[in-house]
Amino acid sequence: MVLWVGNFKSPLFYIPIFLGLIFSLFFLFFQNTQANILQTSVSVHICGNDIVEADEFCDDGTDNGTYAYNAANRFCNMDCTGWAPYCGDGIVQSLYGEDCDDGNNVSGDGCDAVCKVEEAPPPPGGGLYVPPEVPTKVILKGKAYPDSRIHILKDGKEVTPTKANSQADFKGEITDLTAGVYTFSLWAEDKDGIKSITYSLTFRVIANAITTVSGIFLPPTIGLDKSTLRKGENLNIFGQAVPEVQIDVHILSLEIIERVWADEIGVWLLSFDTQPLEEGSHSTKARFQINAQEKSGFGKALAFYIGEIMVPPEEVCLRADFNKDGRVNLVDFSIFLCWWEKDNSQYDLNQNGTVDLPDLSILLCCWTG
């Protein structure tokens, strides 16, 4: 072993220096760790101590999940980073203790200022408040004919009628109902006593509710000035509808469509030239149109005959008296209709093999009333 003490070359000289260096490094590491621990402890905050600390947006003093209203009627959320939903925002937040929230944060309207349900005020004179019960009712609204009487039937039985105004608008109310499925029917007569078709609809009525059906349009009434005429004669087709609407008149045999306008009281008239029609049986029907979206269905179809009018001989009229009472009247007409479009020689007055419109023309020519 070599010992260099005098000139600092002895290894023993470096031992204290080495130990001192190790101790210094340890001391610096310990100090840095302490500083980090101190820094970490300073950044910790407690949500719920009613103190807005570092990194906290709010702190209302609650215990991290036990919510209560603060002075602004708002909650600070669980981690104190912002406002939670509050009373008066219109959203029921049961998690935050709300029973109701009508969005106005005002008492006296059923939901008080802290979003708790309020009891209804007692009625005048005391006693318990009972809210009014909604009636079970059906309202039918639509258009018919100006100033016409609207007949309303419930399951085939007529109920309280109503009346259309001068513009043909009507509104009928049916009360005293229970829940269930009903069929409601409507019909009316125009100013000349011509009856409309019966308009029917079936639906379920809900208890304690008002069921409204609108857009009910009774089709135009329709009449003919004659049922038998020669080819080329004009046939007057007429009726009544909603005032000042377009009337579409269909001649079914050739799919001819003629258009006329109803006047200020809904009366309409079409003088139709029958020249384009072949001899034989034809029919016509009509509907009205307010606009492209609002139009009625078709009313009843009426038949007419184009051909030579022949006065039936006496023996034919004798045959037209089907019940043999000496008269040709409604009784015979009723019997005749029972065999309509059937092959029965007894009622086939022109013997063409079918009870049809020409036979009806003969019956009318023999009419005595």
**71 DSSP 8-state letter:** T
Q: Which domains does the chain have, with CATH numbers?
A: 137-217 (2.60.40.10), 223-306 (2.60.40.1930), 314-365 (1.10.1330.10)
User: Quick one: tokens of 87?
Assistant: 């009373």
Give residue 71's pLDDT: 38
Please tell me the distance from the alpha carbon of residue 51 to that of residue 12, in angstroms, as a whole number. Answer: 61
pLDDT at 124: 61
Q: Which pLDDT does position 137 carry in this prediction?
A: 93
Residue pair 185/156 in contact by the 8 Å Cβ criterion: yes
Query: Distance (Å, rounded) from C-alpha 270 to C-alpha 261?
Result: 9
| Binned average pLDDT, 10 residues per bin, the chain of 369 residues | 43 54 52 45 62 75 47 60 68 70 69 76 59 84 96 94 95 92 96 94 90 94 90 95 97 91 97 92 93 92 81 76 87 87 81 80 82
CA pair distance 169, 140, nearest whole angstrom: 11
Q: Give helix then strand counts, H and E, for the chain.
A: 4, 18
Relative to beta strand 199-205, strand 180-188 is antiparallel
pTM: 0.54
Each residue of 9-40: pLDDT tens digit? 455 555 555 555 555 555 555 455 444 444 43
Task: Give me the pLDDT at residue 193, please.
Answer: 92
Please tell me the total number of residues recorded for the chain in this structure: 369
Judged by DSSP in three states, 95 sits in helix
Res 129: pLDDT: 56
Cα distance between residue 226 and residue 206, in whole Å: 48
DSSP 8-state code for residue 208: T
Structure tokens at 20: 């001192």
